[in-house]
Structure 1
Amino acid sequence: MTRPHYAPAIAPQPTALPFELSPIRYRELTAQVESLLERMTLEEKIGQMTQFTSNRDTTGPSVGSDIEQDIRAGRVGSVFNAFDADFTRELQQLAVDNSRLGIPLLFGYDIIHGFRTIFPIPLGQAASWNLDGIERAAHIAATEGAAAGVHWSFTPMLDISRDPRWGRVMEGPGEDPWLASQIATAQVRGLQGHDPEATDTLAACAKHFAGYGAVEAGREYNTVDMSQWRLRSVYLPPFKAALDAGCATVMTAFNSLNGLPATADPLLFERILRDEWQFQGFVVTDYTAIMELERHGVADGARQAAKKAVNAGVDMDMQDGYYLDELGGLVESGEVAEARIDQAVRRILLVKAALGLLEDPYRYSDRERERTSILTDAHRQAARELARESMVLLKNDEQVLPLSKDISTLAVIGPLGNTQEVIGSWHADGDAEQAISLMTGLRNRLGDGVELLQAEGASNEIGSTDTSGIDEAVRLAEQADAVILALGERQEYADEAASRADIRLPGMQLELARRVIEAVGDKPVATVLFNGRPLELTDLEAIAPAMLEAWWPGSEAGNAVADVLFGDYNPSGKLTMTFPRSVGQVPLYYNHFNTGRPKGVDPKYASQYLDIPNTPLYPFGFGLSYTEFEYSRLDLDRPSISGEQALSIRVTLTNSGERRGTEVAQLYLRDLTASVVRPVRELKDFQRVTLEPGESRTLTFWITRDQLAFLDAELAMRVQPGRFEVQIGSSSEAGQTAEFVLEE
């Protein structure tokens, strides 16, 4: 029988409870919620579905008269951008002591890659391929945020991103749905822990549901149009993984999806999220997204916008106040059922109850815990470790890196050499003044015995044509034994509302690099890149002997970069987004389809460019090391599998270089013949392996029948017999290969 187009892509699991609550605990909390719900008026219920921002200005937090009045009246259920133990206690007291039922507020905040201790941007964290490290970073963020009175973090951002023009790629895990799913699980577990009532946990929020990473032209807030097959195969799996890990909440996306704004799409929320996945947490909009239904052109005024959003399954309205103003009248007219209101409020109250707020509203607002739990030495050390692991060595001709420890003069040239603006956007309560600049990190590493020369040379401002500082930068570079070029973007250039049509180095940085490299001759020159997206580096790659992708490394940026540059840490990061040769290639991603006329079959009539190769500058999974790794003796334990048999795959990994190093061994599969077109390869597993010089280790991977499943043309998950190719290597474009057969 042919399934309807909305058939589940992933078989429904048992009820997806927030925080992985046990059935017993869920029943206890539900009884608590129902008792409260029975006593609530319609206005109080709608208040729980309303979220407003707190009033915070440059002089510090304060409670404004408008929000104070609403909180006292029970017309606010959640406040965002509220943190600080004393401030959140003040807000909470307004609700608990003044509203009729004393229902506590839920405080939310964008804690994306750290609260005060800032870790690398999420795209950088993903490049570490260290799931334990990513989970630890999320737990530290939760510990600090909770100590400052926050209950709920608007993260993880799980939008699959294949277009680096989109500024928010910095906030997500990259281009691969399988790896993004593993990262989603790690982040949710790090934030929420295993006991939501512990005071070092936060409720997580998977965003943006759904398809936001596929905005046309890479332009923020733009349209998305894709097949149900692509949506369910590529863009939804990370969200499903997050919910399976107990993620408490989901946030809507700004974009329209196949002609309907996501915030008013019943397919996403009622059909997929609730019916198929059985999600029991609540859905919150992104900032003013209900109001924006009018601008999309699908709602004629606030009343219709509120009606469409709530009936689509959106439980909480962030900031625009449309629910507060309109839901009462909509219920009275019968356009919205009060049962739908009750359903939303149950979900919201369940999260509050699970966090222990109904029993102790002030449990997170603890000044002493705030004083002792934020920006600790241990947290900074964890940030430094993950920053080092996130960095990707893109090029290292003639072993320029690591730099010699015997140099006496080092020149640091470029606009990002002596700035503390290295923590990236979406840095919560992070303070750039508490971050370690590259110059400071180098001074910490080298001491006073090495002279550091520094010049900005050129601006990294978009549109700048100023070359007046290049001559001085060249002069200083000529005086040094070695040169570090610190280049990249400004933090605000990789952020929300920060799309770029031209993703080359901004300003005259390329000219600065060219002049310096030409002037110093054979002296070592290492380029360190600080940025939040894959850049178009083709021209720089042609002249730069060594390039280290550092992303925005966070609070310990300078120390971590210095560790890598001088060999105290051997880089092991691998890209999770493809770097294009030209922006004209994007969207560009490794797990693309083949075509009927792939390149190499016919010299002219092929899917190819006339002016550049199809291949990227740096592929997904790519990253060099200061040592060399070799793969050999790929061996399958049998030529075919059937039924529930698993295939054992063994490969030998050898560190053939002279330094201890960590390699990320990646396993890819290709379905050679199927009922629908399949990707040329798909990541299915990986192992991070640390080897001493000369050491070899046999790695074992397992392939099960479930890993061979795919979504067919009828949107059903299928496993079909046939031939498969396995590839294990150092990137998506390298490695040992072998074939096996899946039998009936």
Structure 2
Amino acid sequence: MTDIVKKLLNKMTVEEKIGQLIQVTGDFFKGSESTITGPLSENGRLKDEVKYMIGSVLGTSGSSEVKKIQQDYLAHSSLKIPLLFMADVIHGYKTIFPIPLGIAATFNPKMMKIASQVAASESAAAGLHVTFAPMVDLVRDPRWGRVMESTGEDPYLNEVMAREAVKGFQGNLPIDDSHIAATVKHFAGYGAAEAGREYNTVDMSEWQFRENYLGAYQSAIEAQAKLVMTSFNTMFGVPATGNKYLMKDILRQELEFNGVLISDWDAINELINHGTATDLQAATNLALNAGVDIDMMSFAYITLLEHVDELSKNVLKLIDESASRVLQLKKELGLFQNPYKGLNPEKENDKDIKLAHEKNALEVAEESIVMVKNNSSILPLSFDQRVFLTGPVADTGDLLGSWSWKGDVLQTKSLLFKMKKSFKNISFSEGINYHDRHIKDWDKISQQVSDADVIIVALGQPSSESGEATSMMEPTLPIGQIEYLKKLRQFNKPIVAIVVTGRPLILTQVNELVDAMLISFFPGTKGATALTNILTGKSEPTGRLPMTFPRNNGQIPIYYNSYTTGRPIEFGLQNNETKYVTKYIDGSNDPLYNFGDGLGYADISISESVIQENVLSMSEQIKVSVILQNKSNRSGQTVLQGYIHQKIGETVHPTKALKWFKKIEVPAKNSRKIMMSIPVNELASVHQDLSTSIDLGEYEIMVGLNSTDLVSHNLTIE
């Protein structure tokens, strides 16, 4: 605790300290508007004497709006402690980048850092101090709508992207005027909600939690994220927001997090619904004892004001601890020196800055697009080809995705708009909208198709069908879109599908009906330009899938890094056993597309893979020399991926686990030699006693351009 914080605490009344722990939306201030991102409680009524003691505001931004609220607040505040302004800036403020799942698909940590830097710069100019990002929850179930906000199913990819997001948002410490504080969420395990249903229970062993889920939170905290947000779900049988073991023993002590812990929207009040608190006062006690510093919109901590004289010494101590952490954050952000820090109306509306940010957004969007099929090298298309463009996503600006706070769909250019400038002869009919089963203008479409060389069908979901509170029982395209695709297939013309989505979808039928397919996780402000550049070959498709795409709904959850069983199907087939093995009787175990899948236009392959040493000690590096060869006439990029499998251990281990990746450019008709290096300490795993250590013994290191076609080397750690 710094001197300025100590002095302030000594001056503050108990009521003023409690006020610092309360967060409300900006609409509690006269004439202000705020984005509402959760249910509103009837408890939400503030008297002026409380309003001018609160510590932070969420959901409000814009230089004039923030300045007005801050000025009004300071004019009424006895100690002149400035407000913190926070918001959900997830993948862009005004300039919208691909959704985080799309940024993960770049397999390029630099892209995550760039996206976060731009979001921070625009947000800071608009008066924000804190973003509720990154979301680092590991997700294996595409039914959960917030999968779009994650970076996928792999622990290592999550850890790398979490670290870069924090660095991008916060910059070099102390945080300057062009950056904002990051909030790691949701602690913990929120991505494992049962049945993929929003706000549902999470039930997993602590071993599973530590082995696969904890690492990304730890990575973000080690990157010095200033805040952590509690999750809505239970963990180890106790709701996270009131879970003292989770928040104090694991987060505070084990991970050594000493920043601000904030609840999610109304989460303290929801302890009553969970059945662990009888009323709001009891919920308040649970949250305080768990170390929750800021109460977001449940008005639980306001109940402390009703009986200040009766508060115990322990509660007063907890209030002091939380208030000091909030004040310390304000001090670190420089708000005591300048309550209007970062706020810059000129920068907020600078056209040159806007253009530079859009250039960044285009770069990230291009790298996020994944080509999963390209029969007969239909793509890229040439300028002279006659193109028929159709589908519900062809002529819409709805490319931004959920949590695109200040992004403007009406100002976002459509795929049709951009493609008209890239093809000499292009015709268009929407054909069908997102959910209608009736095809419009079929006679016209038939004529357009007959005159075309290739059909491009832009399919997908509206942005409203992914994000918070959008769980789906069956993550598929609407049946009308599939039926329309079937009718187009009857013309026997080459079909290219573009699928714009916020989650992995079951695309089995689509895959069968098309010749080429691009998957775009809501690509953002420059999404249409990025897709057009990929279609025309101006840019190379270099994205890779950060999540497995199921073949069938019954496979969910399905993920690449699963554990083997006592009766693996591979072992059964080797021994002519096809019944008593782990399999379905009505379909394949295999997904439609695997984690790490993705194609490019250049013909790049691994021509040689050599492990440097097969026997290593714990202090050494695993080194594999890989030669990538490009046999084609165009330069291209690929993602080299390194996986580890531990053959024998005290606990079970995944069949493969990503431990290294790098995006690499290989010139046309040329080759490149890459040295992949993995520290042996990356092989550490969680044991039965929940300790983490490296087992001696035999391992496999596998190298490939996806997670299935791998070159394997044996390795011994001794």
TM more than 0.5 = yes
Paired position in structure 1 for 2:387: 410
Paired position in structure 1 for 2:74: 96
Paired position in structure 2 for 1:741: 716
Alpha-carbon distance in structure 1 between the residues aligned to 2:655 and 2:60: 47
| Alpha-carbon displacement from aligned partner over 1:306-329 (angstroms, at most 9, x marks no partner) | 111111111100012110123663
- What are the within-5 Å matches in structure 2 for residues 268-417 of structure 1? 268-326=246-304, 329=307, 332-334=310-312, 336-372=314-350, 376-407=354-385, 409-417=386-394
Paired position in structure 1 for 2:604: 629
Alpha-carbon distance in structure 2 between the residues aligned to 1:39 and 1:211: 39
| Alpha-carbon displacement from aligned partner over 1:217-269 (angstroms, at most 9, x marks no partner) | 11111111000011111111101000100100001111122321111111211
> Is the 2:615–2:715 Cα contact (8 Å) retained in structure 1?
yes
Q: Does 1:162 align with 2:136?
A: no
Q: Counterpart of 2:266 in 1: which secondary structure?
A: coil
Q: Counterpart of 2:278 in 1: which secondary structure?
A: coil
CA apart distance, 1:632: 2.8
Q: 1:135 to 1:166 in 2, by over 3 A?
A: same
> Is the 2:660–2:678 Cα contact (8 Å) retained in structure 1?
no
> Is the 2:166–2:225 Cα contact (8 Å) retained in structure 1?
yes
Alpha-carbon distance in structure 1 between the residues aligned to 2:446 and 2:101: 33
Q: Does 1:436 align with 2:413?
A: yes
CA apart distance, 1:647: 2.7
> Is the 1:474–1:515 Cα contact (8 Å) retained in structure 2?
no
Q: Counterpart of 1:349 in 2: which secondary structure?
A: helix
Q: Counterpart of 1:727 in 2: which secondary structure?
A: strand
> Is the 2:14–2:308 Cα contact (8 Å) retained in structure 1?
no
CA apart distance, 1:709: 0.8
Paired position in structure 1 for 2:589: 614
2:524 alignment partner, one of 546, 554, 572: 554
Q: Does 1:595 align with 2:569?
A: no
Q: Does 1:705 align with 2:683?
A: no
User: TM-score scaled to structure 1, two decimals?
Assistant: 0.92
Paired position in structure 2 for 1:200: 178
Q: Does 1:575 align with 2:552?
A: no
> Is the 1:130–1:688 Cα contact (8 Å) retained in structure 2?
yes
The one-letter amino acid of 2:102's match is G
User: TM-score scaled to structure 2, two decimals?
Assistant: 0.95
Alpha-carbon distance in structure 1 between the residues aligned to 2:387 and 2:299: 56
Paired position in structure 1 for 2:12: 40
Alpha-carbon distance in structure 1 between the residues aligned to 2:34 and 2:711: 61
> Is the 1:460–1:488 Cα contact (8 Å) retained in structure 2?
yes
Q: Counterpart of 2:559 in 1: which secondary structure?
A: coil
| Alpha-carbon displacement from aligned partner over 1:389-437 (angstroms, at most 9, x marks no partner) | 0000010001111012212x32111011000111001001111122121
> Is the 1:486–1:530 Cα contact (8 Å) retained in structure 2?
yes
The one-letter amino acid of 1:80's match is L
Q: 1:170 to 1:71 in 2, by over 3 A?
A: farther
CA apart distance, 1:597: 0.3
Alpha-carbon distance in structure 2 between the residues aligned to 1:138 and 1:277: 24
Q: 1:512 to 1:269 in 2, by over 3 A?
A: same
Alpha-carbon distance in structure 2 between the residues aligned to 1:690 and 1:322: 54
The one-letter amino acid of 1:380's match is E
Q: 1:610 to 1:63 in 2, by over 3 A?
A: closer
CA apart distance, 1:331: 7.4
> Is the 2:175–2:181 Cα contact (8 Å) retained in structure 1?
no
Alpha-carbon distance in structure 1 between the residues aligned to 2:35 and 2:480: 46
The one-letter amino acid of 1:687's match is K
Alpha-carbon distance in structure 2 between the residues aligned to 1:331 and 1:694: 79
Alpha-carbon distance in structure 2 between the residues aligned to 1:584 and 1:144: 43
CA apart distance, 1:683: 0.4
The one-letter amino acid of 1:284's match is I
Alpha-carbon distance in structure 2 between the residues aligned to 1:91 and 1:441: 41
Paired position in structure 1 for 2:433: 459
Q: Does 1:128 align with 2:103?
A: no
Alpha-carbon distance in structure 2 between the residues aligned to 1:415 and 1:570: 25
Q: Does 1:651 align with 2:626?
A: yes
Paired position in structure 2 for 1:12: none
Alpha-carbon distance in structure 1 between the residues aligned to 2:92 and 2:174: 19
Of stretches 102-111 and 523-532 in structure 1, the one that deviates more from structure 2 is 523-532
Paired position in structure 1 for 2:41: none
CA apart distance, 1:495: 1.2
Paired position in structure 2 for 1:51: 23
CA apart distance, 1:73: 5.1
Paired position in structure 2 for 1:503: 475
Alpha-carbon distance in structure 1 between the residues aligned to 2:319 and 2:221: 23
> Is the 1:327–1:336 Cα contact (8 Å) retained in structure 2?
no
Paired position in structure 2 for 1:16: none
The one-letter amino acid of 1:395's match is K
Alpha-carbon distance in structure 2 between the residues aligned to 1:342 and 1:474: 72
Alpha-carbon distance in structure 2 between the residues aligned to 1:160 and 1:638: 33
> Is the 1:673–1:722 Cα contact (8 Å) retained in structure 2?
yes
Paired position in structure 2 for 1:254: 232
The one-letter amino acid of 1:172's match is S
Count the aligned residue pairs: 705
Q: Counterpart of 1:314 in 2: which secondary structure?
A: coil
Alpha-carbon distance in structure 1 between the residues aligned to 2:242 and 2:526: 42
Paired position in structure 2 for 1:692: 667
Of stretches 665-674 and 47-56 in structure 1, the one that deviates more from structure 2 is 47-56
CA apart distance, 1:209: 0.6
CA apart distance, 1:643: 4.3
Q: Counterpart of 1:634 in 2: which secondary structure?
A: strand
Alpha-carbon distance in structure 2 between the residues aligned to 1:71 and 1:171: 38
Paired position in structure 2 for 1:23: none
> Is the 1:536–1:581 Cα contact (8 Å) retained in structure 2?
yes
CA apart distance, 1:62: 8.2
Q: 1:652 to 1:470 in 2, by over 3 A?
A: same
Paired position in structure 1 for 2:125: 147
The one-letter amino acid of 2:473's match is A
Alpha-carbon distance in structure 2 between the residues aligned to 1:612 and 1:365: 57
Q: CA RMSD in A?
A: 2.0
Gaps of 5+ in 1: 1-26
The one-letter amino acid of 1:457's match is G
Q: Counterpart of 2:421 in 1: which secondary structure?
A: helix
Alpha-carbon distance in structure 2 between the residues aligned to 1:274 and 1:232: 15
CA apart distance, 1:674: 0.7
> Is the 2:384–2:425 Cα contact (8 Å) retained in structure 1?
no
Alpha-carbon distance in structure 1 between the residues aligned to 2:279 and 2:566: 49
Of stretches 330-339 and 373-382 in structure 1, the one that deviates more from structure 2 is 330-339
> Is the 2:145–2:472 Cα contact (8 Å) retained in structure 1?
yes
CA apart distance, 1:504: 1.4
CA apart distance, 1:365: 2.6
Q: Does 1:729 align with 2:707?
A: no
Of stretches 509-518 and 588-597 in structure 1, the one that deviates more from structure 2 is 509-518
| Alpha-carbon displacement from aligned partner over 1:18-54 (angstroms, at most 9, x marks no partner) | xxxxxxxxx6xx2221111111111111110000011
Alpha-carbon distance in structure 2 between the residues aligned to 1:573 and 1:214: 25
Q: 1:599 to 1:71 in 2, by over 3 A?
A: farther
> Is the 1:658–1:694 Cα contact (8 Å) retained in structure 2?
yes
Q: Counterpart of 2:668 in 1: which secondary structure?
A: coil
Alpha-carbon distance in structure 1 between the residues aligned to 2:680 and 2:503: 36
- What are the within-5 Å matches in structure 2 for residues 231-250 of structure 1? 231-250=209-228
Alpha-carbon distance in structure 1 between the residues aligned to 2:173 and 2:619: 35
CA apart distance, 1:357: 0.4
CA apart distance, 1:645: 2.6
